[in-house]
Amino acid sequence: MNKRIRKIFFIVLAVGAIFIIANVVINDILKSKLELFIKERLPDNMTRTYDDLTVESFDGSLILSNASLIIKNKIDGVEHTFITVERLKISDISYWDYLINDKIHVDAISLYNPKIVYYQDRLKPSKDSVRQAVARIYKPIIVDRVFIENTKLAIYEKGEDSLKVYSAGLTLKVDGIKVDNKSIVQKIPFEYKDFEAKSDTVFVKVSPYENLTVENFSIEDKDAVFTNVLLKTKYSRRELSKVILQERDHFDLSLKTLKIQDFDFGFLQNKFFAKSKHIALNSPSLEIYRDKLVADDPKIKPLYSKMLRDLPFDLTLDSLTIDNANVIYEERVKEENMGGSINFKNLTAAVSNVSNTYSGSERTSIKVKADFMENTPFSVDWQFDVQNPEDQFLFRTEVGPLAAAKMNSFTEPNLKVKLQGNTNKTYFTIDGNNETSTTDMKISYSDFKITVLQKDGKKKNEFLSVLTDIFVPKDSKKVGENFKEGTAEATRDKTKSVFNFLWISVKSALLKIMI
């Protein structure tokens, strides 16, 4: 090796040694500063630990292993949030932006196998009326991408049945995050451009009586798909009647898929908003059971227009569709039996303008088609204006041929009435509001007979049955006419449901026509 080459070799070796030494020194300095930052800059009500902190100054990354964070109340020191993560990696920190542009710019933050446990009942928020920041932000923080893999989340509330929300296998990716002192005090303490999420299992306690479970879901490009959705009352029918003080529906809903298209949500001037172009429910199966022997709920039941109008947030849903649904409604009125049922099969529905943000002439429209009581064509056209303070609505229905005996599964146990004969075609229109309704009906029926039963629901009540034979014509035909027509009014009982109002409106017109 000649002298010139040897000189170059030693220079390169020296530069390499200096670089390695400098890298080690810088890494140690940065590590010390980061440890000091974690120790002193986080609020006093946050306890943080980790097994190891690795800093790579050359590529601008750091790794925390087996890190944990415990958040407690500032008032009483009670711990309410517990977060652990096996590995946290911050990649490609921009020194240029930090030194020159006075901001913290990170290419990616990745969290692997985090576990989050939150006890809702332990939280005691500050008494200050102004929302306080979670932490003080000394420089704006920009993160191009946050990736959280295989998260377990559990939220608990007070009581024995305390699990409120649970999710396993939750993976989340958020792009374009920005945090500064302006955003940190908002209800969503950061800004973001887009996000994707998926999860294997989701459980939500909807109320003290119902639970919601989802087998899996995915969210991508502002479209969401939820698979095998179940909403069920956690008690049996008999158990529910024992634990409630006022009547309440027993639910059993299963849904093959729920799709939400082009959705967005957030806060605008501190008011929450949610919007979507379209929601689709595929193959839902719903069973509803109500025990009318339980005491009535005396609370006012608003019509759907008022329910939408009075939502505490802004909802904008352009359209909703239901495909291939089956619905069974059962009601128990008499103590000596478990009640009767009616059903709708092959139900499809198209709903438009489900919103409390529309103005002017926009109306909510609900169109339904189904097979009623197995094979009777049934269609509904229901319209109302959410912004109308009188809650005016128009409800049009057409019912095809129906063998009256098919209604006996409902009328015999609940009304002690047995029907015979056929209704060939029925039309009715209910023009109503929050107070009263006017129902126009025309019906074609033949060989119609009503048999009133004794209290045991088996033997015939001879006297009342003779009276119905006298006052109820056996068919609707007159000379030159196939339909009987009539108009009747009804007054709403505001402590009853929307469907009770529809029923008493139809019943008043039916009685007017047939008696």
- Please say which residue of 154, 184, 205 terminates a domain: 205
- Please say which residue of 26, 41, 56 terminates a domain: 41
Going from the first residue of the chain to its last (515 residues), give the mean pLDDT of each consecutive group of 10, the final group possibly shorter: 55 47 44 53 77 70 86 88 91 69 82 94 68 62 90 91 93 90 73 91 95 96 96 96 94 96 89 95 96 92 95 96 96 79 95 90 93 93 95 95 76 64 89 96 81 64 55 57 84 93 87 76
Same domain, 67 and 101: yes
Same domain, 170 and 139: yes
Same domain, 12 and 77: no
Is 445 contained in some domain? no
Same domain, 54 and 180: yes
Is 170 contained in some domain? yes
Half-sphere exposure of 425 (CA within 13 A, CB side): 7
Same domain, 33 and 90: no
Is 57 contained in some domain? yes
pLDDT given at position 25: 43
β-partners of residue 422 are: 403, 446
Same domain, 27 and 72: no
Is 92 contained in some domain? yes
CA distances from 295 to 241, 289, 333, 409, 502 (A): 10, 15, 12, 24, 22
Same domain, 27 and 122: no
Same domain, 107 and 61: yes
Is 384 contained in some domain? no
CA angle, residues 450, 454, 458, in degrees to nearest 5: 85
Please report which helix (H) or strand (E) contains residue 290, including its range.
strand 285-291
Same domain, 117 and 52: yes
Output phi, psi for 240, to 5 deg: -60, -40
Gap between the Cα atoms of 472 and 484, Å rounded: 12
Output phi, psi for 467, to 5 deg: -60, -45
Same domain, 132 and 191: yes
Residue 84 in contact with residue 115, Cβ under 8 Å? yes
Whose CA is closest to 214, among 222, 225, 223?
Answer: 225
Same domain, 153 and 173: yes
Q: Note down the domain range covering 3.
A: 1-41
Let me know if 395 is exposed, middle or buried by CB neighbors in 10 A (0-12, 13-18, 19+). buried
- Please say which residue of 161, 180, 205 terminates a domain: 205
Q: Report the predicted TM-score, pTM, of the whole model to 2 decimal places.
A: 0.84
Gap between the Cα atoms of 218 and 446, Å rounded: 54
Is 248 contained in some domain? no
CA angle, residues 476, 377, 351, in degrees to nearest 5: 125
Same domain, 105 and 146: yes
pLDDT given at position 15: 45
Domains identified in the chain, total number: 2
Is 21 contained in some domain? yes
Catalogue the E-assigned strands of 157-236.
Answer: 163-179, 194-199, 201-205, 210-220, 223-233
Gap between the Cα atoms of 116 and 70, Å rounded: 10
Is 91 contained in some domain? yes
